[in-house]
Structure 1
Amino acid sequence: MGQVLVPAPSRPLLQGAHRAHHQGRWTVALTLFAVDAVLVALSCTLALNLRSQLTLFGPTGDVMTLVAPVMALFIGTWLVTLVASGAYRQRLLGAGTTEYSVVARASVLTAAVIGISAYLADYPLSRAFFFLAFIIGTPALLLGRLLMRRVLHAARRRGAMRLPVLVVGDPFRISDFSKVLHRETWIGYDVVGALTHDTGYELPHEIAVLGTPHDALSAVHESGARAVIFLEGSFRESQDFNKLARELEREHAQLIVVPSLTELSSTRVDMQTIAGVPLLTVAKPQAVRAGRWVKRSFDIIVASLGLVLASPLMLVTALAIKREDAGPVIFRQTRVGKDGVLFHCLKFRSMVTNADELKKTIDSHDGEGLLFKLKRDPRVTKVGRVIRRYSIDELPQLWNILRGEMSLVGPRPALESEVSRYEGDVSRRLAVRPGLTGLWQVSGRSDLPWEEAVRLDLYYVDNWAFVQDLAIMARTAKAVFSSRGAY
Structure 2
Amino acid sequence: IVIGSGDLAAGIADQLRAHPDIGYDVVGIVPETPDPEEGAVSLGEVEDLPRLVREHRVSDILFVGAGHPDRVLGTLLVKLADAPVTIRVLTDLESITLSQGVAEEFLNLPMLRFERRNLVHLRPWLKRVADFLAAAALLVVTFPVQAVLIVAGLLARPALAWEERHDYRGYPHRIPLFHDPGTGWRGALFRALPPLRYLPSLWPILTGALSFVGPYPEEPDENRAMEDWNLILTRLKPGVLDVTSIADHPWVPFRDPAGLNMYYLQHWSIGLDLQIVLKESLRVWDKEEGESRHG
In the superposition, the TM-score normalised over structure 1's length comes to 0.43
Residue 27 of structure 2 aligns to a residue in which SS? Answer: strand
Residue 483 of structure 1 aligns to a residue in which SS? Answer: helix
In the other structure, the counterpart of 1:382 is 182
Where does structure 1 lack aligned partners over 5 or more consecutive residues? 1-165, 351-379, 445-450
CA distance in structure 2 between the aligned counterparts of 1:204 and 1:278, rounded to whole angstroms: 34
CA distance in structure 1 between the aligned counterparts of 2:34 and 2:166, rounded to whole angstroms: 49
In the other structure, the counterpart of 1:475 is 279
The structure-2 alpha-carbon separation of the partners of 1:298 and 1:205, relative to structure 1 and needing over 3 Å to count, comes to farther
Residue 262 of structure 1 aligns to a residue in which SS? Answer: coil
CA distance in structure 1 between the aligned counterparts of 2:129 and 2:224, rounded to whole angstroms: 33
In the other structure, the counterpart of 1:203 is 38
Paired residues for 1:181-196 under 5 Å: 181-182=13-14, 185-188=17-20, 191-195=26-30
TM-fit CA distance, 1:481: 1.8
How many residue pairs get aligned? The number is 269
Higher RCO (CA-CA < 8 Å; seq separation 6+): 2
Question: Which amino acid in the other structure matches residue 205 of structure 2?
Answer: I
In the other structure, the counterpart of 1:411 is 215
TM-fit CA distance, 1:412: 5.9
Please tell me whether Structure 1 or Structure 2 has the larger radius of gyration of its CA atoms: 1
Of 139, 155, 159, 1:307 maps to: 139
Residue 177 of structure 1 aligns to a residue in which SS? Answer: helix
Question: Which amino acid in the other structure matches residue 222 of structure 1?
Answer: E
Paired residues for 1:422-441 under 5 Å: 423-425=224-226, 429-440=233-244
Residue 71 of structure 2 aligns to a residue in which SS? Answer: coil
Paired residues for 1:257-272 under 5 Å: 257-262=89-94, 264-272=96-104
In the other structure, the counterpart of 1:140 is none
CA distance in structure 2 between the aligned counterparts of 1:424 and 1:185, rounded to whole angstroms: 37
How high is the sequence identity, in percent, across the aligned residues? 19
Question: Which amino acid in the other structure matches residue 114 of structure 2?
Answer: T
TM-fit CA distance, 1:223: 0.7
Q: Does 1:401 align with 2:221?
A: no
CA distance in structure 2 between the aligned counterparts of 1:346 and 1:174, rounded to whole angstroms: 36
When you count helix as a share of all residues, which structure comes out higher? 1
Q: CA RMSD in A?
A: 4.7
Q: Does 1:212 align with 2:46?
A: yes
Report Cα offsets for 1:158-210 as digits up to 9, x if no partner. xxxxxxxx1235xxx1676236634885244654245457567463664322x
Report Cα offsets for 1:55-94 as digits up to 9, x if no partner. xxxxxxxxxxxxxxxxxxxxxxxxxxxxxxxxxxxxxxxx
The structure-2 alpha-carbon separation of the partners of 1:223 and 1:405, relative to structure 1 and needing over 3 Å to count, comes to same
TM-fit CA distance, 1:335: 7.7
CA distance in structure 2 between the aligned counterparts of 1:463 and 1:397, rounded to whole angstroms: 25
Q: Does 1:347 align with 2:176?
A: yes
Where does structure 2 lack aligned partners over 5 or more consecutive residues? 249-254, 289-295
In the other structure, the counterpart of 2:62 is 229
C-alpha contact (below 8 Å) 1:272/1:280 kept by paired residues: yes
CA distance in structure 2 between the aligned counterparts of 1:263 and 1:474, rounded to whole angstroms: 28
C-alpha contact (below 8 Å) 1:167/1:229 kept by paired residues: yes
TM-fit CA distance, 1:260: 1.7
Q: Does 1:168 align with 2:14?
A: no
C-alpha contact (below 8 Å) 1:343/1:405 kept by paired residues: no
